[in-house]
Amino acid sequence: NYDFIAKVDPDAILYADRLRGHLQWHIGQNVFFLNCAKYIPATMYGALEVFSKAALGSYLSQHKRCESSLPFWSWGEDRYMAGCLEMLGVKTQPDYLNFLHDERCWGVDCGNKAAVAFHSFKQVNHWFRCYEASK
Tens-place pLDDT, residues 37-93: 988 889 999 999 999 999 999 999 999 999 999 998 899 899 999 999 999 999 999
- Give the pLDDT mean for 23-48: 93
Does the N-terminal peptide bond of residue 120 adopt cis geometry, omega within 30 degrees of 0?
A: yes
94-100 CB contacts, 8 Å cutoff, 24+ apart: 94/33, 94/34, 94/37, 94/42, 95/22, 95/33, 95/34, 95/35, 96/34, 96/35, 96/36, 96/37, 96/42, 98/18, 99/22, 99/33, 99/35, 99/48, 100/35, 100/36, 100/45, 100/47, 100/48
Q: Give tens-digit pLDDT for 48-62.
A: 999 999 999 999 999
For residue 78, the model assigns a pLDDT of 92
Enter the pTM of the model.
0.92
pLDDT band at 97 (very low <50, low <70, confident <90, very high): confident
CB atoms closer than 10 angstroms to residue 84: 21
Checking if the pLDDT of 125 tops 90, the result is yes
For residue 39, the model assigns a pLDDT of 85
- What are the strands, taking DSSP E only, across the chain? 4-8, 13-14, 31-34, 48-52, 91-94, 100-102, 117-119
